[in-house]
Amino acid sequence: DTAVSQTPKYLVTQMGNDKSIKCEQNLGHDTMYWYKQDSKKFLKIMFSYNNKELIINETVPNRFSPKSPDKAHLNLHINSLELGDSAVYFCASSQGAATQYFGPGTRLTVL
């Protein structure tokens, strides 16, 4: 059974488009996160949700909007995609502030 899953695995789109990435966890965790891994492999926290409440919103452009319909899901919607948004986006989950488990990642390519 997949603990943290993401869809799609690959996403190729044109500049200016709007796209969404979905994340689901079946671990019963109450906290979910989005991380961005750039071309140099640097991993950076974008958002954190605890019980559907936004906890962290690092300096991420307003074009990125997380949505958490319930504790098991955290989606990421991106408006007006730019070339610099190309990266691998990882979802993660944890119980409170404990160990974080990562999803398989979504490779976003903006052309």
Partner 1 sequence: GENVEQHPSTLSVQEGDSAVIKCTYSDSASNYFPWYKQELGKRPQLIIDIRSNVGEKKDQRIAVTLNKTAKHFSLHITETQPEDSAVYFCAASKMGGGADGLTFGKGTHLIIQP
Positions touching partner 1 (CB under 8 A) are: 31, 33, 35, 40-45, 48-50, 55-56, 58, 90, 94, 96-105
- Taking the complex as a whole, the smallest distance from the CB of residue 16 to partner 1 amounts, in Å, to 28
Q: CB-wise, 43 or 111, nearer to partner 1?
A: 43
Select 18 or 23, whichever has its Cβ closest to partner 1. 23
The minimum distance between CB 97 and partner 1, in angstroms, equals: 4
CA dihedral 1, 39, 86, 31 (to 10 degrees): 40
Nearest CA among 42, 111, 55 for reference residue 83? 111
